[in-house]
Amino acid sequence: MDRTTHVPHGYPERMRKFPYCIFRVKRLLIGLVVLAYVVVQAWFIWPEYGHRIIYKYTVSPAKILRHDTVLRYGTLTAGIDRHGDLDYISGGAWINTIAGLDAPYVAFKNPMAHEKDVFERIVYDRVQTFGAGDDITAASFSGYAKLHPQVRINTTYSIFDPGSVLIRSVISSAGKSAPVWVGDRLQTNTRHILFNVPGIGDINTGARDGVSPQRPYIAVLGRANQVIGLFYIDGHIPPYFIYQENWIESVFPVGRYARGGRADFRFTRVLSIRSTTGMDYRKVGDSMYKGLLSVGSGVMITASSYDIFSYQNAPVTYRVYVTNTGNVRKRITSVVLFAPSDIDTSKSYTSVSDVIGAGRTSEFSFRLKPAQGGDYYIYPAVVADGTYIEGPWSHVFSNAAGWYSADMHNHSVYSFNLEDYPVRDMAEAARAKGLDILSLTDYNTFSQAGACRSMSTDDFLCIPGEEIANPVWGHANAQFIHEKVYEFLSPQHWIDEVHKQGGMFFINHPYLEMREWRDFDFKGYDGIEILNGNKIPMDPVNVKAFDKWDELNRKGLHLYGIADSDAHTPYSVGTYRDYVYASSFTVPAVEQGFKKGMFYVSDGPMLSFTIDGSPMGSTIAIDKGSAIRIQAAYLAYAQSPENASDMQKIIIFKDGSILTTSDDPAVDYSYTPDGSGFYRVEVFTNNGGFAASNPIWVNVR
């Protein structure tokens, strides 16, 4: 067909062709828009599947050997660039997460007193590698400070174990005296990442905080399931750590170098990385630290497995290996296994008289039997030559009936937010923080369902949902659904559609700024998000949600309260969690636990709550004048063998008003109701922890 025949006769030829040109331009513009959309999608979604591709094309041994130095431990272990900075540890664990370790740097202005970077780049004039053939086992860098060449730096990198690199540095001066600061600078590619120093807690209080560490260790939680530790092991512990958004520095004030003969300053540290799959990152970091201490004592304690699976509470065998890494014999007089009370160990203490020769290993076995499903943490300890030495933590998981931790409102790249992360990163971070269940509820889409479900394993569930977002009505969560719920109609349509799919409907953050819920008079919703991760528990946004929850239940509704992190980054996953009781670790069983209201909300503490033996979510009937028995308890560290109680107060509420309080960690309270009502419990701890139960409804006949 002639596309120009509709043009009036007599127009110039260029004008006759003009409409066709417009058509071509439109087609080109549409093509560019489609291409841009595909590129944007690829940019955000390819990390789901691209770790192997990145590893192959960016840190492959062949490429690195042409430019940098590679340490090996049988396989590729670490890469060191021409500046002497450690850029990655193998296995893809640092890809997209760690920007590198500048080790060491020197500064002639106090880093604690300056906002701008004041450290100097080291110019290396000699590099040596040690090893046989391609199997490099150590590398030595020798150089000088660029602006102060009289100060020389020698650093040696060697392999400590498959996931660690030992770094030894010597700083000396042959020039005039000068004040000098030395240290290490660890950087990530993610802003506002979590840094933790054992003995202090999280370093997240602001830019350039000088923190004096109580233990020689820096831990970093990365984007995925990993912990990176920087351990100082030769007695020189950095007096200061400086934190700012996505990097942390350790700082040593060395003092003044005297002309011609000040003693060299030497410091040794280990840069290590460990997986945190199924275990809280603090426990993994603590295990890394204890491992270094045990090696330093000449005794290394390891376990048969750091991730133990018990099928339906079946007994499992746990073995402890004690290795003498020194040159003289070691006498072992006891082996102890620390486990929570819900694990039957058959024996927790073994008195032995065992002599281990140099380089030899002894084995000790324990039998473990969990009492119910869920997560538990255990660790061994030995007494060697009169010295008490602790071993690493292990994670025990049972898929039987029990309590499981869940975070039911989170986002991934499918929410089309530039700050969001791939499904894989969100799921791995959730596992790293000890969560059993993660729900990804992206805005107005269910397209993340396949990627989410693919992350589920025997000890972790990723359950897709949808956050229905409408600027007129507000935001709501559709849980346990099978297809998208469209956001254009009224909330009553949303509720009906969710229930038609067999799901649950929760109103999200009803008082969060710019996302308030407009109308609570719709029928049939299942609950309210009473804790949202954008705010602390006692923030007015969450307090108002609690008050509205109580108000609606006083009107006769049976609404459940849920807590969610509403995380858009791995850093925020697990801020709040729901502990749900499930008959087994399956999606249908978890779904039934939520539908029965057998769950409570928490930012850490665990609790129990029953009335006449009936659990949360129950409705019980009594005769008028009859008493009820309310039992509530704060379960301090129920899943770990730590026994310190930091409980501050237990409060029992009736119809939203305080019925009684207690300073004891367990309450057994008898009460005679004068009418029907609902009861719930809140727990406060001295360190700011908070937990709240779902209600139990009591009908008085």
CA distances from 119 to 112, 217, 242, 251, 617 (A): 11, 22, 13, 11, 59
Position 146, amino acid: K
* pLDDT score of 225 more than 80: no
The reply to whether omega before 179 is within 30° of 0 (cis) is no
Where in 533-689 does DSSP place strands (E)? 560-564, 577-582, 599-602, 606-611, 619-622, 628-635, 647-654, 657-662, 666-671, 677-685
Average model confidence (pLDDT) across the chain: 81
- Is residue 348 within 8 Å of residue 322, measured between CB atoms? no
- In the chain, % of residues over pLDDT 70: 78
Provide CB contacts within 8 A for 10, sequence distance 6+: none
- At the topology level of CATH, where does 292-398 sit? Immunoglobulin-like (2.60.40)
Quick one: which of 198, 209, 228 has its CA closest to 97? 228
The domain spans of the chain are 13-46, 69-275, 292-398, 403-603, 608-701
The CATH number of the domain covering residues in 69-275: 2.70.98.10
Q: Which tokens go with 117?
A: 């970077």
Q: Which tokens go with 489?
A: 């109609």
Predicted pLDDT of residue 642 = 62
Judge if 292-398 and 608-701 fold alike in CATH terms.
yes
CA–CA separation, 244 and 101 (whole Å):
15
pLDDT tens readout for residues 663-678: 988 999 999 999 999 9
Burial class of residue 418 (count of CB atoms within 10 Å of its CB; 0-12, 13-18, 19+): exposed
Provide CB contacts within 8 A for 448, sequence distance 6+: 412, 414, 423, 440, 442, 464
- Model confidence at 259, pLDDT cuts 50, 70, 90, reads very low
Quick one: which of 412, 406, 407, 408 has its CA closest to 568? 412
Strand-strand pairing, 696-700 and 677-685: antiparallel
Quick one: which of 524, 570, 516, 584 has its CA closest to 545? 516
Predicted pLDDT of residue 245 = 67
Which residues partner with 172 through β-bridges?
A: 152
- Model confidence at 176, pLDDT cuts 50, 70, 90, reads low
Burial class of residue 439 (count of CB atoms within 10 Å of its CB; 0-12, 13-18, 19+): buried
Provide CB contacts within 8 A for 478, sequence distance 6+: 441, 465, 466, 467, 468, 485, 494, 498, 501, 503, 504, 505
Length of the chain equals 701
Provide CB contacts within 8 A for 608, sequence distance 6+: 631, 632, 633, 635
CA–CA separation, 605 and 128 (whole Å):
53
Predicted pLDDT of residue 51 = 33
pTM of the predicted protein model: 0.78
CA–CA separation, 19 and 8 (whole Å):
12
pLDDT tens readout for residues 114-148: 656 677 778 888 888 787 656 677 888 888 888 78
Predicted pLDDT of residue 577 = 93
Q: Which tokens go with 169?
A: 């540095």
Predicted pLDDT of residue 50 = 34
What three-state secondary structure class fits 453? helix
- At the topology level of CATH, where does 608-701 sit? Immunoglobulin-like (2.60.40)
Quick one: which of 557, 558, 579, 575 has its CA closest to 566? 575
Predicted pLDDT of residue 564 = 95
Predicted pLDDT of residue 223 = 52
- Model confidence at 239, pLDDT cuts 50, 70, 90, reads confident
Q: Which tokens go with 460?
A: 């972790």
pLDDT tens readout for residues 543-564: 999 999 999 999 999 999 999 9
Mean pLDDT across 323-339: 89
The CATH number of the domain covering residues in 403-603: 3.20.20.140
Mean pLDDT across 446-462: 94
Q: Which tokens go with 34?
A: 């489609």
Predicted pLDDT of residue 45 = 43
Quick one: which of 290, 298, 196, 184 has its CA closest to 238? 184
Where in 108-238 does DSSP place strands (E)? 119-120, 122-132, 135-145, 151-161, 164-173, 179-188, 194-197, 201-202, 209-211, 217-221, 226-232
pLDDT tens readout for residues 24-64: 777 888 888 877 765 555 444 443 333 333 333 444 444 44
